């Protein structure tokens, strides 16, 4: 199962838990575990994104801001 799908399912579970008939102590436990899983998945997905798209050095680009011949400005 992909991490994105797992994150979606955990989010659905967190939305349903308050409406369930579980005792309050169980709800607190399930919400805590779900939150920790979401934190972990967000960390892993962020790490994978940084690996796929490495940060490049910023290069400044200078352009002249003048009208070109024959170019109409509105």
Q: Would the pTM count as exceeding 0.85? A: no
Q: What is the pLDDT along the chain (74 residues), one digit of tens a residue?
A: 788 888 888 889 889 988 988 899 999 999 999 899 999 988 998 888 877 777 776 667 766 666 666 555 55
**Are 17 and 27 a contacting pair, CB within 8 Å?**
yes
Q: What is the pLDDT of residue 33?
A: 92
């Amino acid at each position: 199962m992909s991490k994105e799908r797992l994150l979606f399912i955990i989010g659905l579970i967190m939305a349903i838990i308050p409406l369930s008939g579980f005792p309050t102590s169980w709800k607190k436990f399930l919400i805590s575990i779900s939150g920790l899983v979401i934190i972990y998945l967000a960390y892993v997905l962020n790490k994978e994104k940084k690996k796929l798209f490495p940060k490049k050095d910023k290069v400044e680009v200078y352009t002249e801001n003048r009208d070109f011949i024959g170019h109409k400005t509105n």
